[in-house]
A and B are shown apart, each in its own frame.
Chain A
Amino acid sequence: MNDEHDHPAHDHEHHHGHAHPPLQPDDTSPPGHYETMILAMRDLLLDKGILTADQIRRGLENLDSWQPSRGAEIVARAWVDPEFKRRLLSDGNAAVAEFGIDMGSARLTVVENTERVHNVIVCTLCSCYPRPVLGLPPDWYRSKNYRARVVREPRKVLSEFGTRIPDDVAVRVHDSLADLRYLVLPRRPAGTDGWGEDALAALVTRDCMVGVADPQVPNAR
């Protein structure tokens, strides 16, 4: 989207009676449209007493606590505990609540990779992503390149991530457009019998849970 086209420069100024110091003394470039909107919204929330600066900071700390390591713990538990895996596949929200994770109004839908099916997640409209279990989406997930191509030529896109899917394994793309959020449950790699949950979780990267990679055992290839 072209900001200059949608938001002419005269919209960037705001007039509410006080001047802002620059956020960074050495950065004299004017803030962009969205940055200005965020600052204005923050000021309004503070001025009207709807939120305190402390509440905003704690909100950001909560968002920062959303990391792919939380998803990895969930996958590792599912690998070692068949009963948990069954709960995770049938009701994702309830299962991750056991880890203290609140999915909010979204519904976590876990899709399992098997010998016959490889799952991969996209949101072709925007960048819907299971943030409470994976954190913020990577830039490539939000790129038009990935969003347009992974529904059109998923095997080629996966190969660009270094992931080659055999012909007898179906590739199932999930276009996440509504109130569901998807998490891929990858296959547990061979050679990990008897491993503990922590060691297993260390194999599960963000990309494995989006479905563009498979977990790898170090030095196994």
Chain B
Amino acid sequence: MSEPFAPGDRVRVARVHPPGHRRTPFYIRGKEGIIERVCGEFANPEELGYGFDGLPKKRLYRVRFRQKDVWPDYAGDPGDTVDVDIYEHWLRSANTKARK
């Protein structure tokens, strides 16, 4: 299991396109956000969905993205965000700590 992230860490979602039913929607792939909370460990639904046992379990995070970072032409308030549930194997460190 990868080194865990902590709330406030800046992460980037992998921009990859594996086949199959994946739980990370296309619109958020390649985007950068901040770990909002660590949700715990769950059997990997991307394996469970195909009849495997989903083990080892994967850490699940809630990642907060600024809408302006997700949609360059976003028309709403700059403070608007989208929080997305993302499993650890989709996340890469974006190194610098968040300045909130």
Contact = CB atoms under 8 A, between A and B. Distances in A.
B42 interface: yes
A147 B39 CA distance: 23
B85 A167 contact: no
Interface residues of B, number: 27
A175 B25 contact: yes
Interface residues on A, range: 20 to 34
A155 B60 contact: no
Contacts of B74: 153
Given A124-B25, A124-B27, A179 B45 contact: yes
Interface string B30-49: 00000000011010010000
Contacts of B28: 175
Contacts of A177: 23-25, 84-86
Contacts of A171: 76-77, 80-81
A178 interface: yes
Interface in B1-55: 23-25, 27-28, 39-40, 42, 45
A101 interface: no
Interface string B42-76: 10010000000000000010100001001100111
Contacts of A127: none
A151 B39 contact: no
B49 to A, nearest CB: 11
Interface string B74-92: 1111011111111100000
B85 A170 contact: no
Given A125-B23, A180-B62, A175 B82 contact: yes
B83 A154 contact: no
A104 to B, nearest CB: 13
Contact of A174 (B24, B67, B83): B83
A170 B62 contact: no
A172 B87 CA distance: 20
Contacts of B83: 172-175
A107 B83 CA distance: 16
Interface in A158-187: 167-180
Contact of A176 (B24, B42, B71, B85): B85
B81 A170 contact: yes
26 contacts: A124-B25, A124-B27, A125-B23, A125-B25, A151-B27, A151-B70, A152-B71, A154-B67, A155-B76, A155-B80, A169-B77, A170-B77, A170-B81, A171-B76, A172-B81, A173-B83, A174-B82, A175-B25, A175-B83, A177-B24, A177-B84, A177-B86, A178-B23, A178-B86, A178-B87, A179-B45
Interface of B: 23-25, 27-28, 39-40, 42, 45, 60, 62, 67, 70-71, 74-77, 79-87
Given A153-B76, A170-B81, A174-B83, 8 more contacts: A107-B39, A124-B25, A154-B80, A155-B76, A171-B77, A173-B67, A177-B84, A178-B45
